[in-house]
């Protein structure tokens, strides 16, 4: 299942199929497998602020 999570602060979207390679997150990484200390690459919001 492809996750799409959106930062509620700035609107940045994380797509699990793409990952975030510049943050060290490989393509295909599910949202629940991302470290708890993940921060939005645009605004720095914590993982708990994504929906
Ligand atoms: Zn953000």
Q: What is the pLDDT of residue 8?
A: 98
Cα 45 to ligand 1 centroid, rounded to whole Å: 5
1 CA from centroid of ligand 1 (Å) = 23
> What is the pLDDT at residue 48?
96
- Would you state the pLDDT for residue 16? 96
- As a whole number, mean pLDDT of residues 3-31 equals 96
Instruction: For domain 1-51, give the fold.
Output: Rubrerythrin, domain 2 (2.20.28)
What is the CA(48)–ligand 1 centre distance, in A?
Answer: 11
Cα of 19 vs centre of ligand 1, distance in Å, is 15
> Which of 33, 31, 34 is CA-nearest to residue 51?
31
List the domain boundaries for the chain: 1-51
Residue 1's pLDDT band (cuts 50, 70, 90) = low
């Amino acid at each position: 299942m492809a996750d799409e999570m959106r930062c509620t602060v700035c609107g940045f979207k994380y797509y699990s199929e793409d990952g975030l390679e510049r943050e060290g997150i490989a393509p295909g990484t599910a949202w629940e497998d991302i470290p708890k200390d993940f921060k939005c690459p645009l605004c720095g919001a914590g993982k708990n602020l994504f929906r």
